[in-house]
Amino acid sequence: MARQGQMSKLSSFKLLAIDDDPQNRALISDALSQQGLEVLTASDPEAGFELFLRVRPRGVLVDLNAPEATEMDLLERMVRIDPSVNVILVSDHYSEDSAVEAVQKGACDYLPRPIDFQKLRHRIAGFLAEAEIRQKTLGLDHELVRACQFEGIVSRSPLMLEVFAKIRRVAPHFRTALITGATGTGKELVARALHTLSPALADRFVVCNCSALVESLVESELFGYVKGAFTGASQDKAGLFESADCGVIFLDEIGELSPGAQAKLLRVLQDHKVRRVGSTVSREVDLRIIAATNRDLRTMVREGKFREDLYYRLAVVEIGLPALTNRREDLPLLERYFVEKFAKEYEKPIAGLTRRAQSRMATYPWPGNIRELESVIGNACMMADGKFLDIHELPDRIQAQASDQSPTDEALFSLEEISRRHVMRVLERVGGNKARAAEILGVGRATIYQLLSRMKLEKQGESA
Ligand SMILES: Nc1ncnc2c1ncn2[C@@H]1O[C@H](COP(=O)(O)OP(=O)(O)OP(=O)(O)O)[C@@H](O)[C@H]1O
Ligand SMILES: [Mg+2]
């Protein structure tokens, strides 16, 4: 009943039926138009593809009494143009291999001929329900992204909410802080948030990348120099500490600081004074120091590679950022955030990722964390020419991930249906290799064949 309701609500859902049999076309129009769908028909692949380009239907039914390659080719062309389209192939020569191939090429289903209309109506009702949920989710994501931002940091994960609370609490008071986390987890973003919410001068955030400091120049870089202090010192120059007076100095990659520089930094932390190279005068500085590292400083201390006293000075406030894999709930939110950002930058009407692309993203381990995610979405947006980013726009390493069908409706499937889908999924993942699939499913190869032929028999039985 609920599904029938959805059908009448979404009467703008267009279904294109490409069928070379005029009787079939009439039958499909009759059977489905009653359900409040707009059914358009075409008699051959080329006319069908043209109509597809013109009306952009949400669903396509392809039933051609033609070689399988023709149907597959048509399927591929349509999916490439609109990855979110729901295509169902109908064929005389149904086989599980073709079904796997069709699903891999982006089909939603592959049915044997003659069409079981009850089943087809059920499938279409499923598309409608899913389209509606997706539409709602897209709207919701947009609202969520806006609601889940803290000083430009997007997250709704409990771990990050704790980080936000900590930033809010310590920003007005801290003198030194240490931000730790793997590469690309947002350490600099957090440092900037700390600065923004602190009483430091708003325009004074000085970045010092410790890994880029040349040992022989560390002192003059950090402390500055006076004219004539060394060859080439033609005029007085303030160092980074002085430039950050009344503001924040961000010591990025602090784990790379040499032992000599560590000692000098410790002195500044203790005395709050700096003296330019070649000068006899020390100046007081009012500094807030934020250090960041993706290395484990405690281990470095144990190994004698980082000064213990410096570590304890810096880590008065320590903020640890979780890896993206430990806050997967942020993935759709961040995807949406970056899609909006790059769609605007490239002036393209990109609404989001297809379900298939989202599934691949969800199973990827993201070693480069949010920086990697940002660059993946940035590149995909640059290449995209449709409304949705599909797997073709993702880098190979992400395309190669297992795809997981959306669980939207799975709660309502029977166990048998879920097993069927799972077997198909595993087969898809292993490129149709039944021996490998049997191994993964923990059954003998014969069982897989039996299962597949039973499925095939059932399909034939249902449609007989
Ligand atoms: N939670 C987030 N919300 C939005 N953008 C984020 C978030 N986290 C990181 N970013 C973005 O990801 C990129 C990497 O973040 P950032 O430079 O702060 O990471 P990092 O930890 O300093 O990385 P690295 O160790 O490689 O220097 C930046 O472009 C930043 O704006
Ligand atoms: Mg950084």
Q: 295 burial class (0-12, 13-18, 19+ CB within 10 angstroms)?
A: middle
The yes-or-no verdict on residue 304 having pLDDT over 90 is yes
Residue 314: partners with Cβ closer than 8 Å, 6 or more residues away:
176, 177, 178, 254, 269, 289, 291
Instruction: Give the Å distance between the CA of 187 and the centre of ligand 2.
Output: 6
In this structure, the residue with its CA closest to atom 12 of ligand 1 is 371
Fold match, 158-320 / 324-399: no
The yes-or-no verdict on residue 339 having pLDDT over 90 is yes
Torsions phi, psi for 275 (to 5 deg): -130, 125
The yes-or-no verdict on residue 103 having pLDDT over 50 is yes
What topology is assigned to 324-399 in CATH? Helicase, Ruva Protein; domain 3 (1.10.8)
Query: pLDDT band at residue 462, thresholds of 50, 70 and 90?
Result: very low
d(CA 335, CA 151): 18
Domain limits, the chain: 1-147, 158-320, 324-399
Q: Cβ < 6 Å from ligand 1: which residues?
A: 153-155, 181, 183-189, 294, 337, 370-371, 374
Instruction: Give the Å distance between the CA of 186 and the centre of ligand 1.
Output: 3
Query: Which strands form 86-91's sheet, in the order they lie side by side?
Result: 38-42, 14-19, 59-63, 86-91, 109-112
pLDDT tens per residue, range 395-428: 999 988 765 444 444 555 566 667 777 777 777 6
Residue 11 or 145, more confident: 145
d(CA 102, CA 105): 5
Written as one letter, the residue type at 395 is: P
Query: What percent of the chain is modeled with pLDDT above 90?
Result: 53
In this structure, the residue with its CA closest to atom 29 of ligand 1 is 371
Question: Quick one: which atom of ligand 1 is closest to the CA of 186?
Answer: 18
The pLDDT mean for the chain works out to 86
Assign domain 158-320 one CATH number from 3.30.1520.10, 3.30.1950.10, 3.20.20.140, 3.40.50.300.
3.40.50.300
Instruction: Give the Å distance between the CA of 321 and the centre of ligand 1.
Output: 11
Instruction: Give the Å distance between the CA of 185 and the centre of ligand 1.
Output: 5
The yes-or-no verdict on residue 197 having pLDDT over 70 is yes
Question: Quick one: which atom of ligand 1 is closest to the CA of 337?
Answer: 4
What's the CATH class of domain 1-147? alpha beta
